[in-house]
Amino acid sequence: MTQTPVPPPPYRADHVGSLLRAAPVKAARKGYYETGTTPIEDLRAAEDAAIRDSIRMQEEAGLMAVTDGECRRSFWHYDFIGALDGFDLEERDEGVDFAGVKLRPIFPTIKGALDFPDDHPMLEHFRFVAANTKVTPKISIPGPSCCHFRTAVADIHPAEYKDPQALFDALAQVYKKAVAAFYAAGCRYLQMDDIFFAYLCDPKHRAAREADGQDPDWLIDRYAWMMNEAIKDRPADMLIGMHMCRGNFRSTHAAEGAYDPAADAVFNKTGVDIFFMEYDTERAGGLEPLRLLSKGRQRVMPGFITTKTGGLERLDDLKRQFEAASRFADIDQLGIAPQCGFASTEEGNDITFDDQRRKLELVVKTAEAVWGGVTA
C-alpha cells in the first residue's frame, strides 16, 4: 500500500525540540561518561531505543514534525558548539546563574580557526530520526548568536577573532556550511535556537553587556545579520525556524523582559521562516511586538503552553490568548508550540513524562480548535 505523502512544514502545531530523558538513557550516560562502566555500544543502544520511543510518542500525539528530543546531548547548545572546529569546552568552578540554581560549569572557548566539520555528530543524529519517522524529521541546533554570547572575551584566543565583526564573519560562514550540510543529509526543516535575542531585551543582561563595552542594540543587529548570512542561500524547499526564550534549566529561567528591543531585527532582518516565542508568563511582556511581523509567509508560534510546570492549560484560555494575538498579527500567520523544550539539559524540567505527553497533545488539540488541523 502506498504511503500518503507528508505535507511539508510549517505546521500549526509544533514543539521546540528537547524531551525528557528516559531513565535507561540517564543511567547509560552516567555509566559511560562518569564511571566508565558502560560500553559505548550500550549507551548508543539505550539512546536509539529511547529516541524510537519518543518519535512514536510525538507521532501518536498528532505532531507532523518530530525530533530526537536531543536525547544524545547533555546541553541543548554546548554539545553542538563543542563539536565545531576551533571550539573547546572547559569545565570550571562556577556555572552560569539561573533563578535560584547554577548551570553546570561548562564554558566554550575558541582555540583555533572556526569551521563546521564534515563529520559533525549531529548530522548523524538527524539521519537517525529521518530513518525512524513517518512524518517530517526536524533537528534543533543552537543559533550563531549562542557561539558569541556564551563565549567570554577572555576565552577568545586567536588574534583574528578579537575583532567582533571578524568573529561574526567567521561564525556566519560556519553556519552557512552547517545549513548546507544538513540539507545534504536530507534535512528540510532546520531550527536554530537563538535565545539570546530575548536575553538582550532584559535590562540586567543589557547592563552587563554595556559594562563589558558591548552595545546590546548593536549585538541584536549583528546577531540578526549572522543568521541572515547563514541561511540566505538555502534552497527554497528548506524551512528555517528560530526559538527564543529566557533560559530553561530544571524549570528555572535566567532572563526576563518584553521582546520590543529585538522584535524588528528578529522579524525583518534574520530571514527566518518560523519563530518559536516564549509567552507563558509575564516575564515575556505583551503581544504588541507581533505587530512588527511582516505580512506574508512568516509564522509565529506563541508559546502559551509552558514546559516548566506540569499543570495543563485550559483550551478555552488558549483560544482567548490567540484572539488577543490576532489583534497584532494575522491569525493565519500564527501557530502553537510550547514555550521551550522539556529538557534543555539532560536533567530535564520538573515535570513527568505524562505531563509532557499531555502538553504535546494539547498543542495538537489547540491547533485543531483554532485552525481546524495541524496542517491547515
pLDDT score of 284: 81
Q: Per residue in 36-54, pLDDT tens?
A: 999 999 999 999 999 999 9
Q: What is the CATH number of domain 23-74+117-371?
A: 3.20.20.210
3-state helix, strand, coil in the chain (%, to 5): 45, 15, 40
pLDDT score of 98: 46
pLDDT score of 348: 82
pLDDT score of 1: 43
Q: Per residue in 302-328, pLDDT tens?
A: 999 999 999 999 999 999 999 999 999
Contact of 315 with 282, CB cutoff 8 Å: no
Tell if the pTM clears 0.75, that is, is over it.
yes
Contact of 62 with 374, CB cutoff 8 Å: yes
Measure CA of the first residue to CA of the last residue in the chain; give whole Å. 25
Look at the chain and count its residues.
376
Torsion angle of alpha carbons 181, 182, 184, 188, nearest 10°?
-150
Chain-centroid distance, C-alpha 274:
12
With cell 500567520, the residue in question is 333
Identify the three-state secondary structure at position 267.
helix
pLDDT score of 99: 47
Contact of 255 with 199, CB cutoff 8 Å: yes
Phi, psi of 264 (to 5 degrees): -65, -45
Burial class (CB within 10 angstroms; exposed 0-12, middle 13-18, buried 19+) of 365: middle
**Residues of the chain predicted below pLDDT 70:** 1-3, 94-104, 247-255
Q: Structural domain boundaries of the chain?
A: 23-74+117-371
